[in-house]
């Protein structure tokens, strides 16, 4: 079974956990490495884990095929929409502009009463898309020299 993992295109891991435990957002490069063909990724993020550094727009490890990131009812990691947006953009390959969806799902979708940070995730998606435009412009400029 594990041999097929690199070819996996969809992976949703507990987007709305009952215990509030989430995946540290800083672990996303590990997911990108383990699942290079992933197109849809669903994760619930740990609200205490800060995003990694976003200074490198072209890190060695990136999601090359990702089209959708479902964050379920995740709170904003460390509460910083700009930092999360810049960090996520650094992990997305040029030519991709994944959509980010924040919504309670599964069994909890009808009974979710928590604070859903959907507006904040929309702001993060805007940060990602703006940063991706800059990233693409830089790559275009570099390739013309």
Which distant-in-sequence residues (6+ apart) come within 8 Å of 46 by Cβ?
A: 21, 22, 23, 24, 25, 77
pLDDT at position 144 is: 85
pLDDT at position 16 is: 64
Q: How many residues does the chain have?
A: 145
pLDDT at position 37 is: 95
* Average pLDDT for the chain: 85
Residues of the chain predicted below pLDDT 50: 107-113
CA pseudo-torsion sign 50, 56, 60, 65: positive
* Global pTM value: 0.86
């Amino acid at each position: 079974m594990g041999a097929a993992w690199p070819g996996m295109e969809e992976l949703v891991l507990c987007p709305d956990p009952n215990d509030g435990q989430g995946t540290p957002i800083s672990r996303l490069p590990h997911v990108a490495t383990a699942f290079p063909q992933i197109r849809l990724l669903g994760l619930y993020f740990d609200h205490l884990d800060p995003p990694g550094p976003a200074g490198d727009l072209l890190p060695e490890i990136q999601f090359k095929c990702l089209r959708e990131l479902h964050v379920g009812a995740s709170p904003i990691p460390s509460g910083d929409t700009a930092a999360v947006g810049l960090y996520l953009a650094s992990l997305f390959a040029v030519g991709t502009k994944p959509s980010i969806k924040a919504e309670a799902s599964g069994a909890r979708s009808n009974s979710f009463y928590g604070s859903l940070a959907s507006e904040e995730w929309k702001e993060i998606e805007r940060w990602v898309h703006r940063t991706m435009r800059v990233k693409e412009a830089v790559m275009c400029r570099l390739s013309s020299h």
